[in-house]
Structure formats: C-alpha cells, structure tokens
Amino acid sequence: MPKAIARRKTKKSVVKRFKVTARGKVVAHRAGRRHLASSKNRKRMRRLGKAKVVRGEDVGHVRDSLPFA
C-alpha cells in the first residue's frame, strides 16, 4: 500500500474569523459590537462594523492556519 502524503488541514475557526483579500491582505472583523450597544455612540458602532487589516506580526500565524488561501 502506498505511503500517505502529509497534508496541512485548514483550521476552520480561522476561516470563520479571517479573510484574505485579492491583494493578499488579511482582514478581520472588529470585536465589541454584539451587545451593550446603548453605551456606545453611533460613530463608534459604525467603525466597529468595518473590517480591519490584521497587523504584520499576526499575519504569519493566520496564513499558517490557512494553507489554501
């Protein structure tokens, strides 16, 4: 029987939290928008709704968990 080739699996938790753009940037959603919204002003809630670009030192960890992205 042939020997199996070792393959990296995609971490599904990372797939749900991050996205790689067409240019290769890694973006994520901001935390803090789910509840206790009455104490946050409109401007803050609007900004929390937009995606943020992941910092450079964390991009490597995300890309390692997404081998097919």
Tens digit of pLDDT per residue, the chain (69 long)?
A: 788 888 889 999 999 999 999 999 999 999 999 999 999 999 999 999 999 999 999 999 999 999 988
Asked whether 29 and 51 are in contact (CB, 8 A), the reply is yes
Return the pLDDT at 7: 85
Predicted pLDDT at 22: 94
Residues 6+ apart with CB under 8 A from 54: 18, 25, 26, 27, 28, 62
Does residue 50 contact residue 43 with C-beta atoms inside 8 Å?
A: no
Residues 58 and 49: beta-carbon distance below 8 Å: no
Given 4.10.410.60, 3.10.180.10, 3.40.630.30, 2.40.10.480, which CATH number is that of 12-65? 4.10.410.60
Q: What pLDDT does 32 receive? A: 95
- Retrieve residue 49's tokens: 């709704």
